[in-house]
Chain A
Amino acid sequence: MGHKRVQGISLFRLLGMVTIVGLMWLSGGLSAAASPDDLVLSGQHSLTLAQQGDLLIAELRCAACHGAGDERPDAEKVAPNLTLSVRGLSPEYLKKFLADPAAAHPGTTMPNLAGGKTEAERAEIAESLSHFLVSQSTAVNPEGSAESDATGAVSEGRQLYHTVGCVACHGAREPQVESSLTAKPEADREDDEEEDAPPAVVETSASSGRPIAFSLGHVAAKYSASGLSEFLFQPLRIRSSGRMPDMKLTRTESRAIADYLCGEQGQKPEHPEPDAALVARGRQYFRELNCAACHAVGGISAAAPVVSLWQADTGRGCLSGVSGRHPEFLLTEPQKDAIRSALKRGPAKDTDQDRIAKTLTAFSCIACHVRDNFGGVAQEYNDYFVTSEKNLGDDGRIPPPLTLVGAKLQPAWLKKVLFDGESVRPYMATRMPQYGVSNLGHLPEILARTDIPERPALSIPSPESRSESEREREKMLRTAGRELLGDKGLNCIACHNFNGKPAPVNRGIDIMTSSQRLQSGWFSSFVRNPGTFRPRIIMPNAWPGGIAVHQTILEGNTDLQIEAIWYYLSLGTSAADPSGIRRINTKLEVGDEARTYRGRSRVAGYRGIAVGLPEKISYAFNAETGTLSSIWTGEFISVDRNGQGSGGFNPSADPIMLAQDVSFVRLANSDAPWPLLPVMTKDAKVNPDPLYPKNQGYQFRGYSLESLMIPTFRYQTGAIEVEDRTVAGKASDRLCLTRTLRLTTQDPQELWFRALTGEITAESEQVYRVGRLRLRIPAVRTKLRPVQGNAGSSELLLHLEVPRGSSTMEMIYEPL
Chain B
Amino acid sequence: MNRCRTNGTQVLFCLLLGVVFGATSAIGEEVGERWGTEVREREYYPIVSLPMPADTVIEAGAFAVLPDGRTAVGTRHGEIYLISGVDDEKPVPEYQLFATGLDEIFGLTWKDGVFYVTQSCELTRVSDTDKDGRADRFDTVSDAWGYANYHEYAFGSEFDAEGNQFVTLGLSESYYSHALYRGFVMKVSPDGKTTAFASGLRSPGGVGLDEHGALFYIESQGPWNCSCSLKAISSGSFHGHPASFEWYPYAPELGPVPEQPKSGSRIVQEKQRVSQLVPYAVVFPYIRMGRSITGFSVNRTGGKFGPFENQLFLGDYTLSVLMRATTEQVNGVWQGACYPFREGLSTGVLNVEFTAGGHLLAGGTNRGWPVRGIKPFALERLQWSGRMPFEINRITIEPDGFRLTFTKPVDAVTAGALETYSLTSFTHPYHGAYGGPEVDRSAIAVKSVSLAEDGMSATIVVDRLVQGFVYEFDLGRLRSGDGEELLHRNAYYTVNEIPSALGSQSP
Contact = CB atoms under 8 A, between A and B. Distances in A.
Interface in B43-57: 46-49, 51, 57
Contacts of A223: none
B101 A597 contact: yes
A234 B89 CA distance: 9
Nearest to B41: A412
B48 A597 contact: no
A755 B53 CA distance: 45
A276 interface: no
A645 B149 CA distance: 9
Given A572-B372, A576-B27, A702-B139, A643 B366 contact: no
A753 interface: no
A704 B138 contact: yes
Given A513-B374, A599-B78, A680 B148 contact: yes
B178 interface: yes
B161 interface: no
A696 to B, nearest CB: 15
A646 interface: yes
Contact of A415 (B28, B32, B39, B77): B39
A647 B136 contact: no
Given A420-B46, A644-B16, A607 B122 contact: yes
A623 B121 contact: yes
A702 B102 CA distance: 12
A239 interface: no
Interface residues of B, number: 80
Interface in A570-618: 570-576, 595-600, 606-607, 609
A497 to B, nearest CB: 10
A381 B393 CA distance: 54
B1 A643 contact: yes
Given A464-B32, A687-B146, A647 B376 contact: no
B49 A422 contact: yes
A596 B92 contact: no
A644 B150 contact: yes
B15 interface: yes
B499 to A, nearest CB: 34
Interface string A463-487: 1100000000011001101100000
Nearest to B34: A412
A643 B147 contact: no
A568 B31 CA distance: 12
A516 interface: yes
A644 B17 CA distance: 9
B489 interface: no
A526 B353 CA distance: 41
B90 A143 contact: yes
A157 B319 CA distance: 41
B373 interface: yes
A233 interface: yes
B137 A571 contact: no
A730 interface: no
B32 A463 contact: yes
Given A234-B89, A572-B372, A606-B147, A412 B29 contact: no
Nearest to A584: B367
Given A623-B121, A644-B368, A686-B246, A251 B374 contact: no
A644 B374 contact: no
B371 A572 contact: yes
A333 B78 CA distance: 67
B287 interface: yes
What DSSP secondary structure best describes chain B's contact surface? Answer: loop
Contact of A598 (B102, B178, B250): B102
B180 interface: yes
Contacts of A606: 120-121, 147-148
Given A690-B146, A704-B138, A597 B104 contact: no
Interface string B352-379: 0000000000000011111111111100
A412 B344 contact: yes
Nearest to A237: B89
A563 to B, nearest CB: 14
Nearest to A599: B103
Contacts of A482: 26-28
A246 interface: yes
Nearest to B172: A685
Interface in B112-168: 119-122, 124-125, 129, 134-140, 143, 146-148, 150-151
A512 interface: yes
A723 to B, nearest CB: 13
B287 A464 contact: yes
A516 B372 contact: yes
A500 B52 CA distance: 15
B191 interface: no
Nearest to B180: A690
Contacts of A690: 146, 179-180, 247, 250
A729 interface: no
B370 A574 contact: yes
Interface in A625-653: 641-648
A143 B93 CA distance: 11
A316 B134 CA distance: 71
A421 interface: yes
Given A513-B374, A643-B1, A571 B143 contact: no
Given A420-B49, A574-B28, A598-B119, A700 B140 contact: yes
Contacts of B140: 699-702
B222 to A, nearest CB: 14
Contacts of B287: 464
Interface string B13-30: 001100001001111111
A462 interface: yes
Contacts of A691: 180, 250
A373 interface: no
A596 B28 CA distance: 36
Contacts of A599: 78, 103
A250 interface: yes
A317 interface: no
A647 B250 contact: no
Contacts of A568: 27-28
B304 interface: no
A704 B124 CA distance: 12
A438 to B, nearest CB: 12
Contacts of B172: 685
Nearest to B76: A646
B266 interface: no
Given A460-B30, A643-B367, A645-B151, A574 B344 contact: no
A645 B369 CA distance: 11
A700 B134 CA distance: 22
Contact of B24 (A250, A517, A574, A646): A574
B269 interface: no
Nearest to A476: B27
A516 B374 contact: yes
Nearest to B178: A685
A532 to B, nearest CB: 27
A706 interface: yes
A513 to B, nearest CB: 4
7 contacts: A463-B30, A500-B376, A500-B377, A571-B27, A573-B373, A648-B150, A704-B129
Given A475-B25, A575-B27, A644-B367, 9 more contacts: A499-B366, A576-B25, A606-B148, A607-B122, A609-B101, A646-B77, A647-B103, A687-B178, A704-B137
Closest 4 CB pairs of A and B: A574-B370, A500-B376, A645-B150, A644-B368
Interface of B: 1, 15-16, 21, 24-33, 38-39, 42, 46-49, 51, 57, 76-78, 88-90, 92, 100-104, 119-122, 124-125, 129, 134-140, 143, 146-148, 150-151, 172, 176-180, 246-247, 250, 287, 318, 344, 346, 366-377
Interface of A: 143, 233-234, 237, 246, 250-251, 411-412, 415-416, 419-422, 424, 460, 462-464, 474-475, 478-479, 481-482, 499-500, 510, 512-513, 516-517, 568, 570-576, 595-600, 606-607, 609, 623-624, 641-648, 680, 685-687, 690-691, 699-706, 709
